[in-house]
Structure 1
Amino acid sequence: MTEFLTADRREVLARARELYTQKELAERLDYTAKQIGRWERGEVDVPAAIVPALQQVISDRAGYRDDHEADFTFIDLFAGIGGIRLGFEEAGGRCVFTSEWDKFAQKTYIENFGDDHGIHGDITKVDASEIPDHDVLLAGFPCQPFSLAGVSKKNALGRPHGFECTTQGTLFFDVQRIIAEKRPKAFLLENVKNLVSHDGGNTFRVIMEVLEKTLGYVVRPMVVDGRRFVPQHRQRILLVGFQQDVGFDWEKVLAKMPAVAEGPRLRSILHPEDGKEADVDDHRYIGADGKVQKKYTLTDRLWQYLQGYAEKHRQAGNGFGCSVVGPTDTSRTLSARYYKDGSEILISRGKRRNPRRLTPRECARLMGYPDTFRIPVSDTRAYKQFGNSVVVPLIAEVAAAMKPGIMHLVKGEPLQFELPQD
């Protein structure tokens, strides 16, 4: 009798595969990915002699936590700087795979989460079978129109086709193929509110048909305003999906959240400028006098330009205008273009002084990131990254609301969708 029974060896292999792709594991064990695939499929027994090496690569993984320390696993697609990950880690999840193509976003992500399983760049070049098994798929995928031309042509020729033909060439297709291959128990997809009306409603219709009819998931979409948690009007659509109906009800979830009108005000995220934050971010944003550095205040030329541009559009009835706000206000939506002129959110400095932009730290707070979140990139890159991110406490609330359904499907726990009281 060998030291490790066949079932034990498969269990160790399964744990290793949660942390590494077949290719990564093959490189570390000096085997081929094809051979590892045969072990996983049960075509060949996992050699007993390889088990110690498997255990070693598991223990070598920086930041690795045993399964009993994580309630469920998830993958982070189109990860950005990890806002969705933060929310699901707070709910007890462990990330086992990350994909993000932008090298500057990767830098911020690694700075804050480490490089325990690496970051895969272009998800279109990742084979779905190479992605570790996971309980929950997370994706803030970009919004792209779907071409109907190919489908119409196949209809005319009498050829069969599936939704793959409709979504092929879009980044949603990559979400689709990974769900089809890995069959996670649940998913959360995040996008801009306009996804519903994009391309005359065709985009959203196709997405829902793929998720519900082709993939067979129960999907509950909802547009939610992040203003419930941060002083920013930020509406995003969240698509919550489960393998079966577990009773997830958005109305009950929203009823547990703070009311939009009762959300925080900008004073909660602005630098107090009273000297208490002099050491924040190593003086990167605050000067020796305790005040926000002058570089964030608009120049006379830019401020005059923005006022003139706004007036021109007001006279034309277009409604464009830069937005100057103060501590008791909430802001417009922070966008990825904020670095250009900051016009959508300018902080008042009084009637005699030009307004200023938010600092990157204030942008991080406006998105609900903790002050412990590190910003290793330039201001320009930071503005883009936070403008493209999610409202972290909102995601954390949704993750907590999804967790009963996740745990029911993962471990058979009884369904209980009452969120914990404060």
Structure 2
Amino acid sequence: MQLKVCELFAGVGGFRLGLEDTEHFKVVWSNQWEPSTKMQHASLVYEARFGAENHSNQNIEEVSTSEIPDHDVLVGGFPCQDYSVATTLKNSKGLIGKKGVLWWSIHRIISEKKKPPKYLFFENVDRLLKSPSSQRGRDFAIMLKSLNDLGYAVEWRVINAAEYGMPQRRRRVFFLGYHKSTPLFQSMLKASAKDWVLEQGTMASAYPVKNIGQTPHNFSIDQNLVELSERFNAEKGLSPFLNSGVCIDGQVSTLKTEPSDTNNGRVLADILENGSADESLFIAEHDLPKWEYLKGAKKEIRKTKAGFEYNYSEGSMVFPDALDQPSRTIITGEGGKSPSRFKHVVQTPKGLRRLSPVELERLNMFPDNHTQLAGISDAKRAFFMGNALVVGVVRGIGAALFRKIQEFEE
């Protein structure tokens, strides 16, 4: 059995690499479109690696659902935006979020498909569980409610790749949806929420966890989407969503978990190009003081553009980066020569240097030179990796999902 996958917001193909690695999934259609740039660099890389057939490079909001083939699994690492609901339409089946908010494109595709996908697999930054700051947790509540309305149960988990043996400390929220027509949905309905999160669920199977002494926090999201958007957590308390949980039939159950055993896995030293790194990556002697200042602790008086003085302070960063631990999170500004507080710097026998594009790919567990293509700069390659997910996490969840489907559906 091989499951057909539709990959949205595909970037340079991290989801595809992770899922197709398991041989149980086959991407039948993909979309990648970057609104803010004329040159579609990520899409060019995607096509170079996977071929142009069944790949779309246009605004997903303008792609007709009829153009998207039927599929079993819908996946994507969609942008983190403001997901508030603007209005409902009297003469429309659906609902409108703010224009340009891409969650509603996912919603539209699922709702318009005569044969909706059985499974959903999404990824986002973990602050999604706490956003926006004015109504903490509202955005995630809107997503859970909209998926509930479309007939899906959802389980989620915040996963730090380094805690499961991968070479980068990258924390992301992953969530899976099961359509009500699937035996997996029925199994989740019968299980206690706590048992599903800790033992029986797909996430627990892929990345084992333990409870840290809490009972689950339970609440319902039974308002309609507009009410939820306007009123959810309006008293501005902490987000009710913890790092693990489930939502089924409008009932949310969430609890704090941590890895059941910490895995001593790969570290920064393991991914370094030893001796083959380009000379341009090495830090010039005259630039060192600037790097040291930016990485160092500060307590100083600064001025705003308007001339107001304020006290500014920040702690020091490890400089150079520790080689015997997983790396810090890669960010989109990792590339380029200019000194920066957040770029990685490693000590080598030849001196201090920044990380190469290949090393950044390895930190996300991409194949070497996956993003290498004529006309794509090293800074752009670093930007891709700052936006990408850790392929190994997807591979683990994908393999666990396939096992669960076999377990419950055969």
TM-score by length of 1: 0.68
Residue 32 of structure 2 corresponds to residue 100 of structure 1: yes
The equivalent of 2:388 in structure 1 is: 389
The equivalent of 2:265 in structure 1 is: 263
Instruction: Give CA-to-partner distance per residue, 1:227-274, whole Å, 9 cap, x none.
Output: 12422110000011111324434333322999544221112211122x
The equivalent of 1:253 in structure 2 is: 206
Instruction: Give CA-to-partner distance per residue, 1:368-410, whole Å, 9 cap, x none.
Output: 11237352122111101111111011100000111134457xx
Residues 249 and 404 of structure 1, relative CA distance in 2, 3 Å threshold: closer
Provide the C-alpha distance between the structure 2 equivalents of 1:295 and 1:189, rounded to a whole number of angstroms.
37
Task: Kindly state the Cα deviation for residue 168 of structure 1 after the two structures are TM-superposed.
Answer: 5.0
Provide the C-alpha distance between the structure 2 equivalents of 1:314 and 1:379, rounded to a whole number of angstroms.
34
| Aligned 1:234-253 pairs, distance under 5 A | 234-244=170-180, 245=185, 246-247=187-188, 248-253=201-206
| Aligned 1:27-38 pairs, distance under 5 A | none
Provide the C-alpha distance between the structure 2 equivalents of 1:249 and 1:397, rounded to a whole number of angstroms.
10
The equivalent of 1:18 in structure 2 is: none
Out of 127, 152, 156, the position equivalent to 1:221 is: 156
Residue 281 of structure 2 corresponds to residue 328 of structure 1: no
Work out which structure has the larger RCO, using CA pairs closer than 8 Å and 6 or more positions apart in sequence. 2
Q: For the Cα contact (< 8 Å) 1:270–1:327, is it kept in 2?
A: no
Residue 47 of structure 2 corresponds to residue 115 of structure 1: no
The equivalent of 2:128 in structure 1 is: 195
Task: Kindly state the Cα deviation for residue 413 of structure 1 after the two structures are TM-superposed.
Answer: 3.6
The equivalent of 1:309 in structure 2 is: 294
Provide the C-alpha distance between the structure 2 equivalents of 1:78 and 1:87, rounded to a whole number of angstroms.
15
Aligned amino acid, residue 71 of structure 1: Q
Provide the C-alpha distance between the structure 1 equivalents of 2:174 and 2:297, rounded to a whole number of angstroms.
37
Provide the C-alpha distance between the structure 1 equivalents of 2:297 and 2:155, rounded to a whole number of angstroms.
43
Q: For the Cα contact (< 8 Å) 2:121–2:176, is it kept in 1?
A: yes
| Aligned 1:136-285 pairs, distance under 5 A | 136-147=73-84, 150-151=86-87, 164-166=95-97, 168-182=99-113, 183-199=116-132, 200-212=136-148, 214-227=149-162, 228-244=164-180, 245=185, 246-247=187-188, 248-255=201-208, 259-273=261-275
Task: Kindly state the Cα deviation for residue 197 of structure 1 after the two structures are TM-superposed.
Answer: 1.0
The equivalent of 1:337 in structure 2 is: 333
Task: Kindly state the Cα deviation for residue 160 of structure 1 after the two structures are TM-superposed.
Answer: 9.6
Provide the C-alpha distance between the structure 1 equivalents of 2:392 and 2:406, rounded to a whole number of angstroms.
21
Displaced runs of 4 or more, over 4 A: 158-163, 256-261, 405-408
Q: For the Cα contact (< 8 Å) 2:4–2:73, is it kept in 1?
A: yes
Q: For the Cα contact (< 8 Å) 1:111–1:374, is it kept in 2?
A: no
Residues 303 and 322 of structure 1, relative CA distance in 2, 3 Å threshold: farther
| SS of 1:355 mapped into structure 2 | strand
Q: Choose 122-131 or 369-378, whichever is displaced more.
A: 369-378
Aligned amino acid, residue 366 of structure 1: L
The equivalent of 1:89 in structure 2 is: 20
The equivalent of 2:364 in structure 1 is: 367
Provide the C-alpha distance between the structure 1 equivalents of 2:144 and 2:286, rounded to a whole number of angstroms.
48
Q: For the Cα contact (< 8 Å) 1:313–1:321, is it kept in 2?
A: no
| SS of 1:348 mapped into structure 2 | strand
Q: For the Cα contact (< 8 Å) 1:231–1:331, is it kept in 2?
A: yes
Out of 355, 358, 382, the position equivalent to 2:355 is: 358
Residues 84 and 229 of structure 1, relative CA distance in 2, 3 Å threshold: farther
Residues 99 and 260 of structure 1, relative CA distance in 2, 3 Å threshold: farther
Q: For the Cα contact (< 8 Å) 1:299–1:354, is it kept in 2?
A: no
Computing the radius of gyration from Cα coordinates, the structure with the larger value is 1
Residues 204 and 391 of structure 1, relative CA distance in 2, 3 Å threshold: same
| Structure 2 unaligned blocks of 5 or more | 35-39, 189-200, 210-258, 301-311
Provide the C-alpha distance between the structure 1 equivalents of 2:169 and 2:144, rounded to a whole number of angstroms.
26
Residues 383 and 240 of structure 1, relative CA distance in 2, 3 Å threshold: same
Provide the C-alpha distance between the structure 2 equivalents of 1:265 and 1:312, rounded to a whole number of angstroms.
25
Instruction: Give me the identity figure in percent.
Output: 27
The equivalent of 1:23 in structure 2 is: none
Q: For the Cα contact (< 8 Å) 2:83–2:101, is it kept in 1?
A: yes
Residues 304 and 400 of structure 1, relative CA distance in 2, 3 Å threshold: same
Aligned amino acid, residue 306 of structure 1: W
Task: Kindly state the Cα deviation for residue 363 of structure 1 after the two structures are TM-superposed.
Answer: 0.6
The equivalent of 1:74 in structure 2 is: 5
Instruction: Give CA-to-partner distance per residue, 1:78-119, whole Å, 9 cap, x none.
Output: 000001011111232111111101411112111211222233
Larger strand fraction of residues = 2
Q: For the Cα contact (< 8 Å) 1:336–1:385, is it kept in 2?
A: yes
Q: Choose 75-84 or 334-343, whichever is displaced more.
A: 334-343
Residues 162 and 181 of structure 1, relative CA distance in 2, 3 Å threshold: closer
| SS of 2:137 mapped into structure 1 | helix
Residues 317 and 261 of structure 1, relative CA distance in 2, 3 Å threshold: farther
Residues 101 and 302 of structure 1, relative CA distance in 2, 3 Å threshold: farther
Residues 260 and 372 of structure 1, relative CA distance in 2, 3 Å threshold: farther
TM-score by length of 2: 0.70
Instruction: Give CA-to-partner distance per residue, 1:288-312, whole Å, 9 cap, x none.
Output: xxxx222101233443212223436
| Structure 1 unaligned blocks of 5 or more | 1-69, 274-285, 287-291, 415-422
